[in-house]
Amino acid sequence: MTDRTDGMNYAPKGKPAPVVKPGQFVFAAVALDHGHIYGMCNGLTEAGGVVKWVYDPDPAKVDAFVKQFPAARRARSEAEVLDDPEVKMVAAAAVPNLRCPLGLRVLDAGKDYFTDKTPMTSLAQVEQARAKVAATGRKYMVYYSERLHVESAMHAGDLVKAGAIGRVLQVTGFGPHSLNAPLRPAWFFVHEQYGGILCDIGSHQIEQFLYYAGAADARVLHAKVANYGHKQQYPELEDYGDATLVADNGATNFFRVDWYSPRQLSTWGDGRTFIVGSEGYIEMRKYCEVGRGEGGDQLYLVNRDGEQHMSLKGKVGFPFFGQLILDCLNRTENAMTQAHAFKAAELCCRCQEQAIRVE
Amino acid sequence: MTDRTDGMNYAPKGKPAPVVKPGQFVFAAVALDHGHIYGMCNGLTEAGGVVKWVYDPDPAKVDAFVKQFPAARRARSEAEVLDDPEVKMVAAAAVPNLRCPLGLRVLDAGKDYFTDKTPMTSLAQVEQARAKVAATGRKYMVYYSERLHVESAMHAGDLVKAGAIGRVLQVTGFGPHSLNAPLRPAWFFVHEQYGGILCDIGSHQIEQFLYYAGAADARVLHAKVANYGHKQQYPELEDYGDATLVADNGATNFFRVDWYSPRQLSTWGDGRTFIVGSEGYIEMRKYCEVGRGEGGDQLYLVNRDGEQHMSLKGKVGFPFFGQLILDCLNRTENAMTQAHAFKAAELCCRCQEQAIRVE
């Protein structure tokens, strides 16, 4: 489940860095439709969380999960999980258009929710989730893994916050993914279910833009999608998408997502992020150093101190998960604010709605 | 005049590869306003051209030119150059908004014109130039140096043509430049004269898009400009711009240009081009391998043969110039078609016209 060539089942492992004592933070895993559930549960357990339950209607998925997390007990139903007062949080990676309905049930049960991205597939769902959070006071947190579970991406945030490149003017992100079509579940190719490419893998990109730019809001200026190469076999797939946005603070964004990573690439995608500031710039080569066989988490910083290359694998860790656990226990927002998580979701839905189609 | 830290005076030198005998192709250099004239004349003389005349109203510019090209005679006027029947071509790097009027005079004199980019600064000029070419049968060629004078960029074109990445779906270009404001002439900061950032340095990007995508035409979908950091000192400068286009064959383009290259970078700009194809992708790191001290012309190719890194400095040469000379002598279009040169110019003007302003 740490297959570098398959983004869907790429579940990073970090060093254990517990922020709580055993049993202080109990969570459950339900809806194992997307392999990201493994990265999510790795992160939470490394930070000291205990996965008490697992539930999915498909026993094969549960079997696989229990192999990785033997402490997890097989629940007989979702209700059994939601009814357990010891469970503080439900982690889930449902089919994208079912992530919000599940989240609403979790929040109604008085628990926090931690879902794989994209957290919603429509603006109506975004509004439902916002209303439910307001009504219950529970958290609807999102695994935006392309920042939260990438050491170079976490370090880039620290550099920006420390002023290493001045005011952030522009963020460009490339999120190419390998299709690996035969390994994908059926829902992956049904537009209503996966939500569209800008909503799905585009959500990572917009979350990073808002974060690095330090922006609370943004406007979609242009977006486009295409199904260049799979019209016959997968008519509802969008195999290409891009968009450009402007944030409330004037910073702009362009991102490109696609399903065209060659199978022969050493990883599932040569993901990049470029941050242009008034005093320098940062580039992240997240998952590989293409053509050099050096692995990912390479960060390049150019500023008044010259050109710097930082190889960050194993050096930063994944502090998000411990912060998330403490946020749940202390009702703080250090890992991520609810407003930020929802704004990224809203904007990726807006991109999808506004997208023109190219051929 | 081969200062790697100053794009305006970056004049690549290649190996001599004459395509003609001495004296077979005589040209002149006039209007030395932009340092690109040196790269242009390097290219033409390495390909066997003889620079017979130089003319500029500023004697200091002529002095500097004659130091580099001692064979060039000082003309007393532009007319003296245009009246010489031996001169086949006039190479020029005028202030951008004067490039077209000069070109019209050159064509009227029965000579071919080779101008620095951007070749025009308005759609009206594009139409004037098209009409003049139609009327005279002369060539109005453009030094789109970020492809024509970059070995990795030339090789990328060969790879694409050979089918190395299948159908080209998307081209992204980054054209960051260092401002070096104190070294710039006054016209550089006057919008009417430099034409706007998308028209000026954006022209390189659009030319590359059309070339790599194999497109004859494209539509501007969105464009933006900003003056983020120089409003007080240089109110007419645009220090940031980007645009996205779709070509007649469905390929799309995004490019970003800016004047934010840190002075401490080893070169004047970390220019990149990314070409995503249906069967693989190419990245060019044109002017430096940031953070690794390895110099530019690094090309990365990922396709069915895996990941490849090619370090191309000194290995490709600059065939454009010899082809251009032969095109002039033989009235062919192997170096570049007139339609292509004009289309890139038209589209960069359209970007500039359609650009929204961000703050």
Inter-chain contact B358–A252, Cβ cutoff 8 Å?
A: yes
For residue A3, what pLDDT band results from cuts at 50, 70 and 90?
low
C-beta atoms surrounding A62 within 10 Å: 18
Nearest to A250 among B254, B260, B359 (CB): B359
Q: How far apart are CA B258 and CA B239, in angstroms?
A: 5
The model carries a pTM of 0.96
Tokens representing A207 are 């979350």
For residue B4, what pLDDT band results from cuts at 50, 70 and 90?
low
Which site among A225, A238, A358, A359 would you substitute to test the B interface, given the most B Cβ atoms closer than 10 Å to its Cβ? Answer: A358
**Are A54 and A75 within 8 A, CB to CB?**
yes
Rg (C-alpha) for chain A, rounded Å, is 19
Inter-chain contact A307–B290, Cβ cutoff 8 Å?
A: yes
Nearest to B358 among A250, A258, A359 (CB): A250
Alpha helices in B165-256 (DSSP H): 191-194, 202-213
pLDDT reading at A349 higher than 50: yes
Closest-CA distance, B207 to chain A, in angstroms, reads 20
- B249-259 per-position pLDDT tens digit: 999 999 999 99
- What interface predicted TM-score (ipTM) does this complex get? 0.96
- A263-321 per-position pLDDT tens digit: 999 999 999 999 999 999 999 999 999 999 999 999 999 999 999 999 999 999 999 99
Inter-chain contact A302–B258, Cβ cutoff 8 Å?
A: no
What pLDDT is attached to residue A5?
A: 63
Nearest to A240 among B170, B265, B307 (CB): B170
Inter-chain contact B281–A291, Cβ cutoff 8 Å?
A: no
What pLDDT is attached to residue B3?
A: 60
Q: How far apart are CA B333 and CA A26, in angstroms?
A: 72
Inter-chain contact B226–A356, Cβ cutoff 8 Å?
A: no
**Mean pLDDT, range B32-37, rounded to an integer:** 97
Nearest to A169 among B170, B252, B260 (CB): B260
Strand, helix or coil at A314? coil
**Mean pLDDT, range B105-123, rounded to an integer:** 98
Q: In angstroms, what CA-CA distances link A330 with A322, B58, B85, B345?
A: 12, 72, 86, 59
Inter-chain contact A254–B276, Cβ cutoff 8 Å?
A: no
Task: Spell out which residues of chain A touch residue B305, defining contact as CB-CB under 8 Å.
Answer: 264
Inter-chain contact B276–A266, Cβ cutoff 8 Å?
A: no
> What are the φ and ψ backbone dihedral angles of B99, each rounded to 5 degrees?
-65, -40
Inter-chain contact B264–A291, Cβ cutoff 8 Å?
A: no
- A87-117 per-position pLDDT tens digit: 999 999 999 999 999 999 999 999 999 999 9
Which site among B268, B302, B303, B309 would you substitute to test the A interface, given the most A Cβ atoms closer than 10 Å to its Cβ? Answer: B302
**Are A79 and A91 within 8 A, CB to CB?**
no
**Are B93 and B43 within 8 A, CB to CB?**
no
Average pLDDT, chain B: 96
Nearest to B306 among A264, A281, A309 (CB): A264
In chain B, the residue whose alpha carbon lies closest to the alpha carbon of A168 is B228
What pLDDT is attached to residue A59?
A: 98
Inter-chain contact A280–B262, Cβ cutoff 8 Å?
A: yes
In chain A, the residue whose alpha carbon lies closest to the alpha carbon of B301 is A291
In chain A, the residue whose alpha carbon lies closest to the alpha carbon of B298 is A291
pLDDT cut 70: percent of chain A above it: 97
Write the Ramachandran bin of A272: left for phi over 0, alpha for psi from -120 to 50, otherwise beta.
beta
Inter-chain contact A170–B246, Cβ cutoff 8 Å?
A: no
- B41-64 per-position pLDDT tens digit: 999 999 999 999 999 999 999 999
Nearest to A278 among B167, B260, B307 (CB): B260
What pLDDT is attached to residue B1?
A: 38
pLDDT cut 90: percent of chain A above it: 94
- B183-204 per-position pLDDT tens digit: 899 999 999 999 999 999 999 9
**Are B88 and B328 within 8 A, CB to CB?**
yes
Average pLDDT, chain A: 96
- A36-77 per-position pLDDT tens digit: 999 999 999 999 999 999 999 999 999 999 999 999 999 999
Task: Spell out which residues of chain B touch residue A242, defining contact as CB-CB under 8 Å.
Answer: 170, 244, 252, 254
Task: Spell out which residues of chain B touch residue A270, defining contact as CB-CB under 8 Å.
Answer: 281, 302
Inter-chain contact B302–A308, Cβ cutoff 8 Å?
A: no
Inter-chain contact A309–B291, Cβ cutoff 8 Å?
A: yes
Task: Spell out which residues of chain B touch residue A301, defining contact as CB-CB under 8 Å.
Answer: 291
Alpha helices in chain B (DSSP H): 36-46, 59-68, 78-82, 96-108, 123-136, 145-148, 151-161, 191-194, 202-213, 319-330, 338-354
C-beta atoms surrounding A77 within 10 Å: 11
In chain A, the residue whose alpha carbon lies closest to the alpha carbon of B253 is A242
What pLDDT is attached to residue A74?
A: 98
What is the DSSP secondary-structure string of B286-334? -S--TTTT--S-EEEEEETTEEEEEE-TTTS--HHHHHHHHHHHHT--S
Nearest to A244 among B169, B222, B274 (CB): B222
Query: By C-alpha distance, which of B118, B159, B108, B116 is closest to B138?
Result: B108
| Strand B298-303 to B306-311 pairing | antiparallel
pLDDT reading at B245 higher than 90: yes
Which domains are present in chain A?
7-143+319-334 (3.40.50.720), 147-317+349-358 (3.30.360.10)
Half-sphere exposure of B47 (CA within 13 A, CB side): 24
**Mean pLDDT, range B211-238, rounded to an integer:** 98
A-B contacts (CB, under 8 Å):
154
**Are B129 and B104 within 8 A, CB to CB?**
yes
Query: By C-alpha distance, which of B271, B322, B229 is closest to B19?
Result: B322
What pLDDT is attached to residue B11?
A: 78
- B125-164 per-position pLDDT tens digit: 999 999 999 999 999 999 999 999 999 999 999 999 999 9
Task: Spell out which residues of chain A touch residue B244, defining contact as CB-CB under 8 Å.
Answer: 222, 224, 242, 244, 254
In chain B, the residue whose alpha carbon lies closest to the alpha carbon of A240 is B169
Nearest to A262 among B167, B265, B303 (CB): B303
pLDDT reading at A1 higher than 70: no
Q: How far apart are CA A191 and CA B44, in angstroms?
A: 55
Inter-chain contact A304–B262, Cβ cutoff 8 Å?
A: yes
Inter-chain contact B170–A229, Cβ cutoff 8 Å?
A: no
